[in-house]
């Protein structure tokens, strides 16, 4: 069992293809590990045991008859609790949605199921996905793999914990401002933020649909690439022989470098040296458009989030975590004219950014300027909560604002990630670049 739980999703798939492991054996190993784990209630909202074993049985028959549907056919993964799962509660970490029971799977879950991936269960998350910390006293706060007294990052908090604690081979989360990349970075995983519109949001509980994206978390870049293809319902990406030689990268010297604390700063500098050693040419660039885009965050995110949830929230606000409630209500007084003007400004800033970076294969910065904050202090120190929550998502939010795809890679320094940003719909190229970078960092 221990070997199964430590294997990458891709290696599990290869073992199934080679008839060395059976999907039923793999799925049962994960179910047993989860059911016997001391933190199971903090990580999973539920295990979909019957579905998982049924899907594993079908995958087993396909493997034996040489009819596997994809490289991950028969591999069990977890799903964040905002993806509709037919016949299973989907509540998005909020008492506002208590007992919500969808009748159909989300489109991306259907895609993954059609390619043979096994649905292992649903994972805890920040309430309505509106926090980068992963702190949720309404339901559960999952553990951080590197610090039992710290938060795990959010909002895909349980998704990251399920993989980092060996309770899923991979996980699917969502990313509106960093909600895949922050928990991935803080739990030493790979996390991919996809381009807005690349993966269907049908059947995904929204936060801000103009910024919401679906993305995988995994142990390796290869795992995330295979999960990405499954979510899209597309053939696997060719990742053979990736190299950094001749690539042009740029360090973003803008607001994303300010207030970076010692550990993330050291990890970033070490990572840059490793990429240079592997053959990458790396410049430093300063882009005012990035800081200007970050300055539009409150108008764009808060107003859309509150507009989406106002009616539901105001019917029963007392059941919400007060800090999340306050963040939603931060959009209540934003005028429509300001919202429209902000979007026009952002569209211009996106064009400016694309022109300024078109000569580079990817842009680099620390995934988060901070490491996981202390859970108890977040609950008692208001200033600490506000500061850490805003800083946690500051760098990752750039990818959502500027309509980019992005990936975070472990650096070897606990809870410190390296983020690589590429243009919209450049996931395949970014994943190849990330795989070469992963080898260099390793």
**Which one from 78, 155, 174, 303 is the annotated catalytic residue?**
155
Token pair of 109 as six digits: 């879950």
Output the CA–CA distances (angstroms, integers) from residue 290 to 93, 152, 177, 286, in the order listed. Answer: 31, 27, 14, 9
Q: Are 180 and 192 spatial neighbours (Cβ–Cβ below 8 Å)?
A: yes
**Which one from 60, 131, 157, 179 is the annotated catalytic residue?**
179
Name the DSSP letter for residue 236.
P
CA distance 111 to 230: 6
236 in active site: no
CA distance 28 to 25: 5
323 in active site: no
**Which one from 80, 193, 219, 323 is the annotated catalytic residue?**
80
Grouping H, G, I as helix, E, B as strand and the rest as coil, residue 81 is: coil
Other beta carbons within 10 angstroms of residue 391's beta carbon come to 18
179 in active site: yes
User: What is the set of active-site residues?
Assistant: 80, 155, 179
């Amino acid at each position: 069992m221990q070997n199964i739980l430590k294997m990458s999703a891709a290696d599990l798939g290869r073992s199934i293809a080679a008839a060395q492991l059976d999907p039923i054996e793999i799925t049962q190993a994960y179910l047993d590990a989860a059911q016997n784990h001391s933190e199971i209630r903090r990580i999973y909202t539920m295990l979909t045991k019957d579905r998982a074993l049924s899907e594993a049985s079908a995958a087993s028959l396909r493997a034996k008859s040489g009819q596997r549907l994809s490289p991950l056919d028969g591999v069990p993964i977890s799903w964040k609790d905002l993806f509709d799962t037919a016949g299973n509660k989907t509540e998005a970490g909020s008492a506002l949605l208590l007992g919500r029971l969808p009748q159909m799977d989300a489109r991306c879950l259907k895609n993954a199921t059609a390619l043979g991936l096994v649905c292992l269960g649903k994972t805890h998350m920040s309430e309505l996905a509106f926090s980068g910390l992963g702190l949720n006293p309404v339901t559960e706060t999952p553990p951080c793999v590197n610090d039992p007294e710290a938060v795990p990052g959010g909002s895909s908090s349980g998704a990251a914990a399920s993989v980092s604690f060996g309770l899923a081979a991979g996980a699917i989360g969502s990313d509106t401002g960093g909600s895949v990349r922050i928990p991935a970075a803080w739990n030493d995983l790979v996390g991919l933020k996809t381009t807005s519109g690349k993966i269907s949001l049908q059947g995904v509980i929204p936060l801000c649909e103009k910024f919401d994206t679906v993305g995988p978390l995994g142990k390796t870049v290869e795992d995330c690439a295979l999960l990405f293809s499954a979510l899209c319902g597309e053939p696997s990406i060719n990742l053979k022989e990736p190299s950094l030689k001749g690539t042009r990268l740029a360090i973003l010297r803008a607001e994303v470098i300010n207030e970076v604390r010692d550990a993330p700063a050291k990890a970033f500098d070490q990572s840059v040296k490793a990429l240079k050693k592997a053959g990458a040419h790396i410049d430093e660039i300063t882009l005012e458009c990035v800081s200007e885009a970050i300055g539009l965050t409150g108008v764009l995110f808060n107003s859309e989030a509150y507009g989406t949830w106002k009616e539901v929230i105001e019917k029963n606000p007392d059941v919400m975590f007060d800090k999340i409630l306050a963040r939603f209500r931060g959009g209540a007084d934003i005028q429509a004219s300001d919202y429209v003007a902000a979007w026009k400004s952002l569209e211009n800033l996106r064009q400016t950014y694309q022109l300024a970076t078109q000569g580079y294969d990817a842009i680099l910065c620390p995934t988060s300027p901070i490491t996981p904050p202390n859970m108890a202090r977040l609950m008692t120190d208001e200033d600490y909560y506000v500061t850490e929550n805003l800083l946690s998502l500051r760098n990752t939010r750039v990818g959502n604002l500027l309509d980019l795809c992005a990936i975070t890679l472990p650096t070897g320094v606990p809870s410190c990630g390296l983020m690589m940003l590429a243009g919209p719909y450049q996931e395949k190229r970014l994943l190849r670049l990330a795989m070469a970078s992963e080898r260099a960092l390793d």
